[in-house]
A and B are shown apart, each in its own frame.
Chain A
Amino acid sequence: MDEETRIGVYICHCGRNIAEKVRIDELLDFAKTLPNVTVVRDYKYMCSDPGQKLIAEDVEEKGINRVVVAACSPTLHENTFRNACRRAGLNPFLFQMANIRELDAWVTESVEDATEKAKAFLRAAVNRVALHEELEVGKTKINPNVLIVGGGIAGISAALVLAEAGVKVYLVEKEPTIGGNMAKFDKTFPTLDCAACILTPKMTAVKAHSNIELLTYSEVEQVEGYVGNFRVRIKKKPRYVKEDLCIGCYECVEDCLFAEPMFPSEFEMEIGKRKPIYIPFPQAVPLVPVIDPNTCMWLTAKKCPQYCREACEPDAIDFNMGEEYADVEVGTIIVATGYKPFDAARIPQYGFGKYENVYTSLQVERMLNSTGPTGGEVLLANGKKPERVAIVHCVGSRDENYNRYCSKVCCMYSIKLARLIKERTGAEVYNFYIDIRAAGKAYEEFYKKAMEEGVYFIRGKVAEVTDIAKSEEEKGKLVVVAEDTLLGRVRRIPVDMVVLSVGLEPQEDVDRIRNMLKLSCSADGWLLERHPKLAPVSTAAEGIFIAGCCQGPKDIPETVAQAEAAAGEALSLIERGEIELEPNISFIRRERCSGCRICIGVCPYGAISFDEEEKVAVINPALCRGCGTCVAACPSKAAQQHLFMDEEIYAEIEGVLL
């Protein structure tokens, strides 16, 4: 560039965030001594409108042609200021941010050190920006189809919003039916309306909607591409019943060789039984049976008269079915893979699996459900109604040995279970809690109501559940031992039934999904949002959104809100129609390329090919994702990366050191 380099430096106070640690006056004086700096200013909030206007004014009046903003992290406001430059008529890439908040003011003890560190970052940015070049960014079209992974309430809600807007949705669910965990619940807090009544209409709407292609009993196998252009391979597990032919008449289930259900039902949390051919629950969508290859006599031993096949009038049963693959192309992806309940057997002192009347909360949900194994009755193993029930909160949550986090929903669902058990059995119900967390609209009132109804609340973490009686009263009972921290003494409560309110944990296969989509997770394994407050459903990967409990424990209203937000984000991308590609892609300086082809081997995207005529490497800008590994590998400095040119990084290193 022939034009003289004129850099404008803007130092943000960020209210008091930066200003209380970094001596702004000293930094201003320092900035004036740096090469090519012609304008130096400070402002309380550079990201505000007046702050951004300062840049435009100086471009206009002072003729600056490079901009450095020393403020927060570039991940937060780099785009804000790039756009400000663009509006001011400057190429947005003639800009550099110096992160003096997250990397300095917030992490440095003394004002002295923080000011010196700010100077180093500022000098590095000024050094670097002088070398920046004007860039034009390529654009890519957004494929309007959307993939939703997970068919629980989150996936269903997002799918319906998108489908109603006219968007083609592929909804993939690994279980034989959609509905997720919510389909197992009996009633929902704080309104006590029945889960099925509010969920099943949505499930049938999904099935009926012409814009939604439902792929149950299927898993996403492979994802390639980038925002706007994802190629997805979906594996359909063999159901052994043809979905398009089955009419859901149950004849096959009734005629199965096994006259009675005798295998533990996954859907009933193993307190109910099913046959090898089964429909998980009566409102399942699709209402098509599935044959379990591990228990079916034909599929395991080839010994069965195949009564199911005889019974099936439309001839839908096909024992030769194998895995099938579907390849689809989408522009955006919503991950709504949910959670798995904490495995109560991991805490042996609570007796799950040891005492037959210790149940998990989800098992009791199934008992309470009128379509469940007990037809809506809460029953002990001997078939009698319990007279006293204990509900143990925080099982696997807020516990240094298991999960440190609060699972958020257990307090409320425990209170709900307490009220429902009391209503159905008339039993005395004791809740053992650490704290009651009833933050939510009408939640506290729900808790109050439970107390008015005579549900007991004992403040104390349960130490153990035992059947060793210490008194006549305890004989033949389960004894719940806990320190009542309000009374300050240990209490032993003999009960007939113990309900363990298990917490929420990330799905078992979430790491597989995470690695496939290149998402990050928090220390506890929940998928990481781009920003905890300002981008709660976006991820670091452009075009991939998260909704529901895969991001962290949350209740149904929050899950639906997130799902609809994710649908909104996807729609916004689709409506835009195209998106700017990464600016920081690599390119080859042909005159320097010796044709050694080292770069071709290291590129993870196959973006580099070899021009046989000119004997040089060529990078396809549409495939390059901008990691820069070819640049590091190139022995002749022919490969370079926009915004991360060797010279720019050298200048930055010199800057932080000099």
Chain B
Amino acid sequence: MSFEPRIVGIFCNWCAYMAANLAGTARMVYPSALKVIRVMCSGRIDPQFVFWAFRNGADGVLLAGCHPGDCHYMEGNAKCLRRYRLMKKLLPQFGIEAERLRLEWISASEADKLKRVAEEFTEEVRGLGPLSFKGVELGILEEAGKGQARL
């Protein structure tokens, strides 16, 4: 059997999560690898959530918020973008391929985009294979993760 990736989606309440609801009402099938949890705003996404997901066995993390200018809280998505860029630089230092993290702007009406992104990203992560923390001892990472996240 081929490798089934595990992907955590962290979606904002107003746009991306609404698109996920709409995908449901429109019965758009997408890979069950993606499991979405909800925050009020993509600006709430603490980089530690992403690291925590990888630490706990995620093979990919998909962040999604409102399109630029459409944020329900004015500019939370812009803050998310800045943190995303930082994380993209940081992940390889942990031995995690930067491609395992993705940020998308998905408006409340873009259920089709959600479906497309879910399919593309699942395939991409499937291609990368299971997360293996190349070159990093897992124990060290676990310690680091615990230490910071459970402050």
Q: Give residues in A with beta carbon < 8 Å to B.
A: 73-75, 101-104, 106-109, 113-114, 116-117, 120-121, 124, 515, 518, 520-523, 528, 540-541, 584, 602, 604, 625-629, 631-633, 636-637, 641, 644, 646, 649-650, 652-654, 656-658
**A523-B109, A650-B149 given; A106·B39 CB < 8 A:** no
Closest residue of chain A to B30, judged by CB?
A107
A selection of 29 A-B contacts at a CB cut-off of 8 Å is A101-B24, A102-B21, A102-B24, A103-B21, A103-B24, A103-B36, A106-B24, A107-B27, A107-B29, A107-B30, A108-B32, A109-B32, A124-B35, A124-B37, A602-B79, A604-B75, A604-B76, A628-B44, A629-B79, A631-B44, A632-B44, A632-B45, A641-B40, A644-B39, A649-B37, A649-B46, A653-B37, A654-B52, A657-B58
* Contact (Cβ within 8 A) A109 B29: yes
**A108-B32, A632-B79 given; A604·B74 CB < 8 A:** yes
Asked if B48 is at the interface of the complex by the 8 Å CB criterion, the answer is yes
Asked if B38 is at the interface of the complex by the 8 Å CB criterion, the answer is yes
Question: Among residues 78 to 102 in chain B, which have CB atoms less than 8 Å away from a CB atom of chain A?
Answer: 79, 83
Give the Cβ gap from A322 to chain B, nearest Cβ, in Å.
30
Which 4 A-B residue pairs are closest in the complex by CB-CB distance? A102-B24, A628-B44, A629-B43, A627-B73
Residues in A with CB closer than 8 Å to B45 are 632
* Contact (Cβ within 8 A) A520 B43: no
**A518-B72, A522-B109, A649-B39 given; A657·B44 CB < 8 A:** no
Pick the most buried of B38, B47, B149: most chain A CB atoms within 10 A of its CB. Answer: B38
Asked if B128 is at the interface of the complex by the 8 Å CB criterion, the answer is no
> CB < 8 Å: which of B6, B24, B40, B109 contacts A627?
B40
Residues in B with CB closer than 8 Å to A657 are 6, 8, 35, 53, 56-58
Give the Cβ gap from A224 to chain B, nearest Cβ, in Å.
11
Give the Cβ gap from A116 to chain B, nearest Cβ, in Å.
7
Distance, CA A656 to CA B83, complexed state (A): 23
> CB < 8 Å: which of A104, A515, A636, A654 contacts B56?
A654
Residues in B with CB closer than 8 Å to A121 are 35
Residues in B with CB closer than 8 Å to A649 are 37, 39, 46, 49
Give the Cβ gap from B149 to chain A, nearest Cβ, in Å.
6
* Contact (Cβ within 8 A) B46 A646: yes
Asked if B62 is at the interface of the complex by the 8 Å CB criterion, the answer is no
Distance, CA A523 to CA B27, complexed state (A): 18
Residues in A with CB closer than 8 Å to B17 are 75
Give the Cβ gap from A634 to chain B, nearest Cβ, in Å.
9
Residues in B with CB closer than 8 Å to A114 are 32
Distance, CA A113 to CA B37, complexed state (A): 18
Distance, CA A104 to CA B37, complexed state (A): 12
* Contact (Cβ within 8 A) A628 B108: no
Closest residue of chain B to A112, judged by CB?
B32
Give the Cβ gap from B139 to chain A, nearest Cβ, in Å.
19
* Contact (Cβ within 8 A) B49 A653: yes
Distance, CA A629 to CA B39, complexed state (A): 11
* Contact (Cβ within 8 A) B69 A515: yes
* Contact (Cβ within 8 A) B41 A629: yes
Distance, CA A152 to CA B75, complexed state (A): 33
Distance, CA A636 to CA B8, complexed state (A): 25
Closest residue of chain A to B22, judged by CB?
A102
Asked if B15 is at the interface of the complex by the 8 Å CB criterion, the answer is yes
Distance, CA A420 to CA B79, complexed state (A): 58
**A107-B24, A653-B53 given; A628·B41 CB < 8 A:** yes
Asked if B70 is at the interface of the complex by the 8 Å CB criterion, the answer is yes
* Contact (Cβ within 8 A) B109 A520: yes
Residues in A with CB closer than 8 Å to B29 are 107-109
Distance, CA A658 to CA B35, complexed state (A): 12
* Contact (Cβ within 8 A) A75 B23: no
Residues in B with CB closer than 8 Å to A515 are 69-70
> CB < 8 Å: which of A108, A632, A653 contacts B8?
A653
Distance, CA A187 to CA B38, complexed state (A): 50
Give the Cβ gap from B56 to chain A, nearest Cβ, in Å.
5
* Contact (Cβ within 8 A) A102 B25: yes
**A103-B36, A653-B52 given; A632·B83 CB < 8 A:** yes
Residues in A with CB closer than 8 Å to B15 are 520
* Contact (Cβ within 8 A) B24 A528: no
> CB < 8 Å: which of B27, B35, B57 contacts A117?
B35
Residues in B with CB closer than 8 Å to A637 are 151
Closest residue of chain B to A643, judged by CB?
B40
**A520-B14, A520-B15, A602-B79 given; A627·B43 CB < 8 A:** yes
Give the Cβ gap from B17 to chain A, nearest Cβ, in Å.
8
Residues in B with CB closer than 8 Å to A102 are 20-21, 23-25
Residues in A with CB closer than 8 Å to B72 are 518, 540-541, 627
Closest residue of chain A to B38, judged by CB?
A74
Asked if B110 is at the interface of the complex by the 8 Å CB criterion, the answer is yes
> CB < 8 Å: which of A74, A528, A625, A632 contacts B108?
A528
Asked if B28 is at the interface of the complex by the 8 Å CB criterion, the answer is yes
* Contact (Cβ within 8 A) A520 B39: no
Asked if B18 is at the interface of the complex by the 8 Å CB criterion, the answer is yes
Asked if B122 is at the interface of the complex by the 8 Å CB criterion, the answer is no
Residues in B with CB closer than 8 Å to A73 are 21, 24
> CB < 8 Å: which of B13, B14, B46, B71 contacts A632?
B46
Distance, CA A658 to CA B52, complexed state (A): 12
Task: Contacts A602-B79, A625-B73 known; list 8 others, CB within 8 Å.
Answer: A75-B18, A520-B14, A521-B109, A540-B18, A602-B43, A604-B76, A644-B44, A657-B8
Give the Cβ gap from B69 to chain A, nearest Cβ, in Å.
6
Distance, CA A73 to CA B83, complexed state (A): 28
Residues in A with CB closer than 8 Å to B20 are 102-103
**A101-B24, A604-B74, A658-B56 given; A117·B39 CB < 8 A:** no
Question: Among residues 99 to 146 in chain B, which have CB atoms less than 8 Å away from a CB atom of chain A?
Answer: 107-110
Closest residue of chain A to B48, judged by CB?
A646
Residues in A with CB closer than 8 Å to B46 are 631-632, 646, 649
Residues in A with CB closer than 8 Å to B14 are 520, 540
Residues in A with CB closer than 8 Å to B8 are 653, 656-657
Distance, CA A543 to CA B113, complexed state (A): 29
* Contact (Cβ within 8 A) B44 A627: yes
* Contact (Cβ within 8 A) A120 B35: yes
Distance, CA A629 to CA B78, complexed state (A): 11
Distance, CA A518 to CA B13, complexed state (A): 13
Give the Cβ gap from B3 to chain A, nearest Cβ, in Å.
15
Residues in A with CB closer than 8 Å to B74 are 518, 604
Residues in B with CB closer than 8 Å to A646 are 46, 48, 149
> CB < 8 Å: which of B18, B40, B75 contacts A644?
B40
Distance, CA A104 to CA B20, complexed state (A): 10
Give the Cβ gap from B138 to chain A, nearest Cβ, in Å.
16
Give the Cβ gap from B96 to chain A, nearest Cβ, in Å.
15
Residues in B with CB closer than 8 Å to A633 are 79
Distance, CA A109 to CA B31, complexed state (A): 8
Distance, CA A541 to CA B83, complexed state (A): 26
